[in-house]
């Protein structure tokens, strides 16, 4: 009977050759195993980097295509410059008053971009300017992801740092997911479709319908309605452009002339994996994202005047938050709307003044 032989075990020339190959492979793996693993990991990072570059290029190309209709070449140049735009945060060695400094810097940056777009294309209305700014921000984010990943890729290659490579590879799926979300957001931003992040604003818009609207502070509107004997102030960012408004400033101003018994906030919130999109979570505190300046102002008002802060979160993924609103989110909006009306009546008494803030990007949502 023929004994069981493996590749290289027979005494032929090919067998010897294969034995030598096996031994060589063993030595290679002993001495250069880590190097080979590094190469494999770097290859994965290179692939992701190439995808990020394609996404960034596609987003810039798409934005320029969309801006072609305005017939202004300057806007393309402005977009290229905007991709490298920097906003330097204030010094925080002495943290007292840093929020106001940050608020000032962020508003200055926004004013500058808004002003330059208006200067290049003067016939744009406010909504169009805001939508173009949102488009620019998506391209900016994609360019930023690409540049940061490229930086760490080159750095880890230069230093041959295995730990750096592993760390970079570990965060790549999250980075790619966020980059994909920004790429998917372009269509919505360019045509002014409501996005998932506008869920809070949509809840407020539903409740504001039919009321007389008043502008207050930068990009906010509010209305006052009577709900079972309560004076309810509904506030949101002014639509239908892609604005988030300044609810903190508006609340500070309104609280000077009205003494609120409670504040309700509704906003879109990031869900954890496994949670259902559109599900509602109730809680307390200032439910608002962003850099924190508006949150600070709302908390300041609430703390100084001892006003309870109640809130609702409509849950969704990052992708759902910045791409066109899904049916699940819309169902969540409907649920939050009903629940909010119920809670206003439950928590307050007749004659009370209640503030409701619908937080979020109001793109594609009027009022």
- Per CB under 8 A, the segment of 6-14, 229-237, 262-270, 350-358 that binds other proteins is 6-14
**Does residue 153 interact with other proteins by CB under 8 A?**
yes
Torsion of CA 349, 350, 351, 352, to 10 degrees: 30
In angstroms, give the least distance from the CB of 298 to other proteins: 25
Other C-beta atoms lying within 10 Å of the C-beta of residue 331: 14
Other C-beta atoms lying within 10 Å of the C-beta of residue 150: 14
Peptide bond into 109 cis (omega under 30): no
Considering only residues 99 to 138 of the shown chain, the ones binding other proteins according to CB under 8 A are: none
Q: Which of 219, 269, 320, 354 binds other proteins (CB under 8 A)?
A: 320
- Per CB under 8 A, the segment of 43-51, 87-95, 230-238, 340-348 that binds other proteins is 43-51
**Does residue 159 interact with other proteins by CB under 8 A?**
no
User: What are the CA-CA distances from residue 42 to residues 32, 60, 142, 157 (Å)?
Assistant: 15, 27, 21, 8
Strands (E), 238-290: 262-270, 280-284
Angle at 133 between CA 248 and CA 109, to 5 degrees: 60
In angstroms, give the least distance from the CB of 303 to other proteins: 34
**Does residue 338 interact with other proteins by CB under 8 A?**
no
> How far is Cα 199 from Cα 290, in angstroms, rounded to an integer?
15
Q: Which of 90, 109, 116, 184 binds other proteins (CB under 8 A)?
A: 184
**Does residue 211 interact with other proteins by CB under 8 A?**
no
Strand partners, 24: none
In angstroms, give the least distance from the CB of 162 to other proteins: 19
- Per CB under 8 A, the segment of 21-29, 181-189, 248-256, 335-343 that binds other proteins is 181-189
Angle at 301 between CA 296 and CA 304, to 5 degrees: 115
> How far is Cα 302 from Cα 261, in angstroms, rounded to an integer?
10
**Does residue 49 interact with other proteins by CB under 8 A?**
yes
Other C-beta atoms lying within 10 Å of the C-beta of residue 218: 15
> How far is Cα 56 from Cα 79, in angstroms, rounded to an integer?
13
> How far is Cα 121 from Cα 84, in angstroms, rounded to an integer?
21
**Does residue 57 interact with other proteins by CB under 8 A?**
yes
Nearer to other proteins, 52 or 262 (CB): 52
Strand partners, 221: 215, 236
DSSP 23: H
Q: Which of 1, 6, 163, 170 binds other proteins (CB under 8 A)?
A: 6
**Does residue 360 interact with other proteins by CB under 8 A?**
no
Q: Which of 306, 327, 350, 351 binds other proteins (CB under 8 A)?
A: 327
Q: Which of 20, 27, 177, 284 binds other proteins (CB under 8 A)?
A: 177
Nearer to other proteins, 191 or 349 (CB): 191
Residues that bind other proteins (CB under 8 A): 2, 4-7, 10, 12-15, 43, 46-47, 49-54, 56-57, 60, 76-77, 80-81, 84, 146, 150, 153-154, 173, 176-177, 180, 183-184, 187-188, 191-194, 202, 205, 209, 239-240, 277, 317, 319-320, 323-330, 364-367
């Amino acid at each position: 009977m023929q004994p069981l032989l493996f590749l290289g075990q027979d005494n032929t020339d090919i067998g010897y050759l294969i034995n030598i190959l096996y031994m060589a492979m063993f030595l290679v793996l002993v001495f250069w195993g880590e190097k080979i693993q590094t190469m494999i990991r770097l290859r994965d990072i290179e692939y992701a980097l190439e995808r990020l570059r394609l996404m960034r290029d596609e987003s810039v190309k798409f934005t320029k295509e969309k801006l072609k209709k305005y017939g202004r070449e300057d806007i393309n140049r402005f977009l290229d410059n905007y991709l490298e735009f920097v906003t330097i945060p204030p010094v925080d060695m002495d943290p007292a008053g840093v929020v106001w400094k940050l608020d000032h810097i962020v508003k200055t940056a926004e004013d500058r971009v808004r002003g330059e777009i208006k200067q290049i294309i003067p016939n744009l209305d406010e909504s169009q300017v805001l939508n173009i700014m949102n488009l620019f921000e998506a391209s900016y984010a994609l360019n930023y992801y690409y540049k940061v990943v490229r930086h760490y890729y080159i750095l880890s290659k230069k230093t041959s740092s295995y730990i750096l490579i592993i760390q970079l590879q570990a965060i790549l799926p999250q980075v790619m997911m966020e980059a994909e979300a920004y790429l998917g957001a372009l269509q919505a931003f360019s045509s002014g479709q409501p996005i998932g992040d506008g869920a809070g604003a949509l809840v407020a818009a539903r409740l504001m319908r039919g009321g007389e609207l008043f502008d207050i502070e930068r990009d906010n509107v509010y209305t006052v309605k009577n709900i079972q004997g309560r004076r309810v102030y509904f506030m949101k960012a002014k639509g239908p452009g892609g604005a988030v408004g300044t609810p903190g400033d508006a609340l500070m101003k309104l609280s000077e002339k009205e003494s609120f018994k409670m504040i309700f906030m509704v906003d879109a919130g990031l869900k954890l994996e496994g949670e259902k999109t559109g599900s509602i979570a109730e809680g307390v505190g200032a439910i608002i994202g962003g850099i924190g300046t508006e949150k600070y102002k709302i908390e300041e008002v609430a703390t100084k005047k001892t006003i309870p802060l109640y809130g609702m979160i409509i849950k969704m993924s990052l992708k759902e938050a910045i791409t066109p609103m899904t049916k699940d989110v819309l169902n969540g909006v409907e649920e939050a709307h009903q629940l909010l009306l119920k809670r206003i009546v439950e928590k307050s008494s007749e004659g009370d003044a209640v503030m409701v803030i619908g937080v979020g990007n109001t793109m594609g949502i009027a009022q």
